Structure 1
Amino acid sequence: MADNQTKNSKFFDEGKNLSELFNEAMNLRGLDVKKLSELTDIPVHYLAALSDGDLAKLPAVPYVRGYLIKTAEALRVDADLLLRAYKQEVLFRALKTSGPEDKLPSNRFTLGTPSRRRTFIVIGIILILVVVYFIWQIDNFLGTPKIQIFSPAADNLIVNSPSIKLSGEVNSKDKLTVNGEEILVEKNGQFQKDFSLQPGINTIEFKAKRFLGKEVKVIRQVIYQP
């Protein structure tokens, strides 16, 4: 059979399209699409589509390939001849239907037009600046606050006045409380407060809290002796 296939293939012009080759092969064997369908078990409408050159009515490429191989065996022609013709016709039709207006799907990871590239560059610069700013300011958000107490300068201080001026220094971005009362901190970080004393031991708790960081406490005791 291989010899017959080779012999029959010599009668075909490889410059012809698939339907022309297909019809010539059927004519040489004295067959039509109905008889060929009986020999190959290929549906008649698919064979008719091959005969008419109507590729749109054919199934998916793997099925067409199988049909062409079966058809070549039944018609005693070289299967590669039909397969090459089919591939060339598919490619030709794809190029014919694809025009200059056709565009490939845009890749979401490509930068695209110059204006879009500039947008990405600007966004990138902004993100870098935000990261640098956050790193620069990270101690102001996450660090451990410090409290420096000027007055009372020492613990267990004995005084004769019914009040004392509290003073000290903290980071201006930290929250400062004295015995639970929030104290205003100047831009330079310094603070002052007049604190009323009760006779005996007075406990004064200074507490500084960083925004996302830790909390620090300093306790001073002042003894008021009227």
Structure 2
Amino acid sequence: MGENKSLKELILERIEERELTAEKIIQMTEIPRHYFDALVKEEADKLPAAPYIRGYLQKIAVALELDPRTLWEMYKVEQSPKASGSNDRLPENRFAIKSKKAGWGWLAVLAVVAIAYLGINAGQLFGKPSLAINQPSSETEIVGLADFLATGIIDPKDKILINREEVFVDQSGKFQKSVSLQPGLNTLEFTVKRFLGRETTEVRKVIYQPTAQPLEEKQI
């Protein structure tokens, strides 16, 4: 390919064969317009250093489905590329994979913060929740009224269930629940649950002994 043809003729002929335009090639390759014109017009004095030219020819070859080495060899035969200086660099390839070092750095920072947070709050997240029952005040309590108020305190971030029913907890962690007792033995099961943590369960027994009616009331 390219025998008996100049670089200019080969590029322009290929553009025509593929039904493209110079504007389209410039858009596809992102080569500055004045450098593209200098290449096809063979104006070597208007071109940058050799590494840039080679990069531009490689982009043109890809766009036109040509061999990049062929275009570069043709250019070297026809022109004398300017030597690159110490500050010259190849054009940046916008399709190249970017360095991920910065991204990994942020991930490492986030990981350290997460580990530190878990270390400080491990007990709060995974520990066994606390439970302080005020009423009933003992494991077994005898009362004479059917209406009983169960009360206590937990961490306000936890939740409390009494006999498997969730009970409201205020901002200070206090809770209370009114229970209608049946004559005889009544069992109250207090269960505190913590998100991602364990549970704490205590069972209290309340014996309801209805107060005997006065004798005079029975005779009426």
TM-score w.r.t. the length of structure 1 is 0.48
TM-score w.r.t. the length of structure 2 is 0.49
- Higher gyration radius (CA): 1
